[in-house]
Amino acid sequence: MIREISIQNIALIDDLTISFDEGFNVLTGETGAGKSIIIDSVNLALGERADRELIQTGKDFARVELLFSLPDADRINGILEDFGITPEEDGTLLLMRELTSQGKNLCKVNGRSVTLSMLREISRHLVDVHGQHHHQSLLSPESHIDILDRFGGTELAELKSELRHAYLSWQDIKKEISKILGWNKDGERRRDILKYQIDEIVKASLKPGEEDTLRKERTILLNAEKIATIVNDAYNALYTGGRGTLPILDGLAEVVSQLRSIQDIDQTLDDIAGRLENLQYTMEDSIQDLRVYRDSFEYDPDRLEQIESRLNEILVLKRKYGSTIEDILKLKAEMEAELDAIDNSQERLEALYKENDVHYKKVLRLCEKTTGMRKKCAAFLEKELTKELAYLNMNKTVFKVNIVSPDYNAGEDAEITGVTENGCDTVEFLISPNPGEPLKPLSKIISGGEMSRVMLAFKSILGELDEIPTMIFDEIDVGISGRTAQKVAEKIGSIARNRQVICVTHLPQIASMADCHFVIEKTVTNGHTRTNVTKLNLAERKYEIARMIGGSNLTPISLEHAGELIESALQHKESSMQNISQSR
């Protein structure tokens, strides 16, 4: 569950912390007070699309932190460990998202920086948010197959994964067949080109690292005169000396000899003489190496010309075949493989056609199995959703999951069209809210109030399957009132018995069902408008619900009605708990 949310510099919020309770948390307030800002902040921390317009005017950043308490954290801990994040021993989890006015986006989980995709993967197991855009997804037939598949759980997910891998393997075979057929169409011309290119590279006898070696040798030859002069001068200075100048080696030997003659006087001189003597030996070795280098070094203008010619040859090949010798040799290997494939294309094509048939039939079997599982999911969804809608005062509603699939038996003889990695099915939800009306797509028939109830019914069923610990409803009450509002309130209350629910609402029936009630208000201080959130006690709840019933003019009747709603909600919750206890 969400234990706490902290918001800084978002819209009208300077610095706000809200501590939520278990069960049913409700947020109420006047229109425009800032309820949507709270939900937008939650979505931001969960990894939803960021809008820099959320950053408060004049501030450099906006930050949201969500602190979770997860008593049963095994599943989420496994995800954290996969991402290299150490879970907290006390079962807490902290998500943080920060936006800057410069467009930077910082995400952290338990203090460790993560990518936005990692944040989304973690958060989708923690919170399920229902807002207005979720209505749109339910009204879009393209999303219906994904919604239906969620009811298939792990079994269907694993089957779809197997189908996807089989489909991709099948597509690889089809691509190779198309490639070979393309070769055969212009095979002789392609074969000649490959042979010419391979022969050109082979004749060059390229060796990895050759170019670097040649460039180094060329640099030495271009500086031959300078090198010879410096090496000879160095040798003379060290070993033979110059005009009236003692060689450095002889001078060092004399110094060592002199120090040795007085080392018995001061022991410190013994150490110094020893180090200089070692230096003398090292210098002798270096002089020997220098002599060998000097005697073997020679300038060969013909060799320089050979190097220039070879480097030019390599440059020509690089322009044609790759930026390095290694790239050219790699391309040569690929061209040799392609040439071999062309030479043996007919045999390979016959083998591929057989592989294609095997893989296609496997994909078709998996598609058929997927369709079968979807039909079972559809039957379950139709039954459960109809039951949920009946509870929500849509008891005459007929709901149907329409699945259109190909004739798989016909597909054995001729390849069927429309096969994808997601199967062959098209899925659309149909509904008839009133008796006598034909089944029609949700978007064609359903009203705002009916849509809210359908979505709540979906969320109620999916919530049980997904085991997501927190559900958030942003104005689920659109278009409903009266007895229906009471039913919706009871349904949300029943969901909150098993998980945390946070709900933004305008309906007093829903607000009265809450276990924890927050009111959101706008205040003006020193000319600045700000949003504040206050947790209400029982007496304050009564006044807030009365306001929701009768507006700003509170009357004894509205206060009495508010008290009755709170009392009725309390009785309903107690009765529900008793029924659960008796059923156990």
Q: Would residue 568 count as lying in a domain?
A: yes
What pLDDT is attached to residue 581? 58
Q: Would residue 473 count as lying in a domain?
A: yes
> Is the confidence at residue 72, as pLDDT, over 80?
no
> What is the side-by-side strand order in the sheet with 13-19?
13-19, 2-10, 61-69, 92-100, 105-109, 112-113
What pLDDT is attached to residue 214? 93
Residue 158: HSE in the Cβ half-sphere, 13 Å Cα cutoff: 3
Are 457 and 392 contacting, i.e. CB atoms less than 8 angstroms apart? yes
> Is the confidence at residue 250, as pLDDT, over 90?
no
Q: Would residue 93 count as lying in a domain?
A: yes
**Given CA atoms 60, 61, 62, 64 in this order, what sign does their dihedral have?**
negative
Q: What's the whole-number mean pLDDT along residues 476-499? A: 85
Q: Would residue 235 count as lying in a domain?
A: no
Write out pLDDT tens, residues 20-32.
999 999 999 887 7
- Higher pLDDT: 577 or 162? It is 162
The pair of three-digit structure tokens given for residue 47, joined into one six-digit string: 């990894």
Q: What percent of the chain has pLDDT over 90?
A: 41
Residues 6 or more apart from 239 whose CB is under 8 A from it? 247, 249, 287, 291
Q: Would residue 392 count as lying in a domain?
A: no
Going by C-alpha positions, the residue among 383, 395, 384, 577 that lies closest to residue 484 is 395
Write out pLDDT tens, residues 502-558.
999 989 999 999 999 999 988 887 778 888 899 999 999 999 999 988 877 788 888
Q: Would residue 233 count as lying in a domain?
A: no
Instruction: Return mean pLDDT, the chain.
Output: 87
Which residues constitute the domain of residue 516? 2-126+468-583
Are 559 and 546 contacting, i.e. CB atoms less than 8 angstroms apart? yes
**3-state class (DSSP) for residue 87:** coil
Are 30 and 39 contacting, i.e. CB atoms less than 8 angstroms apart? no
> Is the confidence at residue 272, as pLDDT, over 80?
yes
| Residues 465, 155: Cα–Cα separation, whole Å | 13
Task: Label residue 477 by pLDDT band (50, 70, 90).
Answer: confident
Q: What's the whole-number mean pLDDT along residues 218-244? A: 86
**What CATH number does residue 489 fall under?**
3.40.50.300
Task: Label residue 297 by pLDDT band (50, 70, 90).
Answer: confident
What pLDDT is attached to residue 374? 96
Q: What's the whole-number mean pLDDT along residues 264-284? A: 87
What pLDDT is attached to residue 557? 87
- DSSP-derived letter for residue 434 is S
Q: What's the whole-number mean pLDDT along residues 46-66? A: 88
Task: Label residue 134 by pLDDT band (50, 70, 90).
Answer: low
Q: Would residue 277 count as lying in a domain?
A: no
Give me Rg for the CA atoms of the chain: 40
Q: Would residue 336 count as lying in a domain?
A: no
Q: Is the pTM of this model over 0.75?
A: no
Q: What backbone torsions phi and psi does residue 476 show, to the nearest 5 degrees?
A: -70, -10
What pLDDT is attached to residue 555? 81
Write out pLDDT tens, residues 488-515.
888 888 888 888 999 999 899 999 999 9
What pLDDT is attached to residue 354? 93
| Least confident stretch, 124-128, 184-188, 205-209, 252-256 | 184-188
Are 42 and 67 contacting, i.e. CB atoms less than 8 angstroms apart? no
Q: What's the whole-number mean pLDDT along residues 361-386? A: 94
- Higher pLDDT: 456 or 98? It is 98
Task: Label residue 160 by pLDDT band (50, 70, 90).
Answer: very high
What pLDDT is attached to residue 119? 93
Task: Label residue 412 by pLDDT band (50, 70, 90).
Answer: low
> Is the confidence at residue 269, as pLDDT, over 80?
yes
Top mean pLDDT of 413-417, 465-469, 522-526 is at 522-526
Q: What percent of the chain has pLDDT over 70?
A: 95
Task: Label residue 180 by pLDDT band (50, 70, 90).
Answer: confident
What's the number of domains the chain is made of?
A: 1
